[in-house]
Amino acid sequence: METFENLVRAEFAPKNTYLNTASNALLPARTVAALQDAVRLRAEGRALDPLFADVEACRAAYARIVGVPVERVAAGATAALHTALIAASLPPGAEVLTVEDDFASVLNPFHTRGDLKVRAVPLERLADSVRPGTALAAVSAVQSADGRIVDLAALREAARDHGTRTYVDLSQAAGWLPAEADAFDYSVAIVHKWLLGPHGAAFLVVPEDLGDLPSVQASWVAAENPWDSCYGPVAELARSARRFDSSPALFTYTGLRASLELLEEIGVDTVHAHDLALADRFRAGLATLGRTPVPSPGSPIVSVPGLGHLQPELAEAGIAVSNRAGNLRASFHLYNTAADVDRLLDALSG
């Protein structure tokens, strides 16, 4: 079996110090090759059957990664589109509990409904704020702006005690954080961050009974027999979460299949240990510089208050990070090394 280092070296060759996975991941070499093959297939006019097969392969791989049966996974395009399905399922006046300054894709569809009671609380008070009558608690497992991790166990317990459904966005978690999507009623993840995929795909996990979600975006791909459902009303929706699918961006899923194969070869536990070791190295280095990041223990995302304005200067020096809410946000993934961490620390010390 190939070592972690050999696998990573064969797949990634960045031309800069790339510490920005929380925005977009680097694509593995095998993913780039798969995308090129898919484009060539289209250009040559060959049948698209292999590309549709890639969608199902990705669905199955994601199900394995987050620990749910494949029948509970819907394939779509964006997290916000899936959030809109959750929002559409709620009755007028229902209370939705959210976290202050969470990512817009987790929040906005509930606000745009106009007839829901949306309540926002600080992250650390989320579980304690679940109360009788709270219909849904919606939160990102890992906060995009600063890497803080929600206490999902406490949220799950509070939700169970009050009969509240949970909707968890795993976009900043799936791929590095061992996660059991079965612990929540609904969860979502886009693929172009820690899952190493191209833009244009997202997965929604629904309950075994499919929940109360309306199939408001159902097209032919949501049918039990898609190729027999291209014309006229769909006679029968899929008996699985596939009834919530939207028409897939085929190239994206072909590339993603290769990315998920790599993640499964390496193992999420291995990625988790690697990413956190680098983040902790960065935190320790910041301490020697007299800088205190936003507390985010156990996260590969580290945000330093007051330094976001340095992002353009660092980019000029070949170091890719983000400016988020005024913070300098660095995020560490499997293709990063200790040398990458030290280069950023050296730049900040200078």
Torsion of CA 160, 67, 73, 164, to 10 degrees: 10
Q: Which two tokens stand for residue 152?
A: 């999902």
CATH number at residue 165: 3.40.640.10
> What are the pLDDT digits (tens) for 213-237?
998 888 999 999 999 999 999 999 9
Q: Residue 281 belongs to what domain range?
A: 4-26+267-349
Residues in the chain: 350
Classify residue 216: in a domain, yes or no. yes
Domain boundary among 247, 265, 283: 265
Residues 153 and 257 in one domain: yes
Average pLDDT over residues 277-306: 98
Domain boundary among 235, 265, 295: 265
Q: Rounded to the nearest 5 degrees, what angle is found at the Cα of 182, between the Cα atoms of 181 and 188?
A: 35
Classify residue 31: in a domain, yes or no. no
> What are the pLDDT digits (tens) for 54-83?
999 999 999 999 999 999 999 999 999 999
> What are the pLDDT digits (tens) for 281-295?
999 999 999 999 999
Residues 51 and 126 in one domain: yes
CATH number at residue 307: 3.90.1150.10
Using the predicted structure, report yes or no on whether residue 1 has a pLDDT greater than 60: no
The H-assigned helical ranges of the chain are 4-11, 29-43, 49-66, 79-88, 104-113, 126-129, 152-162, 250-266, 268-288, 311-316, 338-349
Classify residue 34: in a domain, yes or no. no
Residues 121 and 54 in one domain: yes
Classify residue 32: in a domain, yes or no. no
Mean pLDDT of the residues in the chain: 96
What pTM was estimated for this model as a whole?
0.96
Residues 322 and 199 in one domain: no
Q: How many domains does the chain have?
A: 2
Residues 159 and 17 in one domain: no
Classify residue 95: in a domain, yes or no. yes
Residues 156 and 261 in one domain: yes
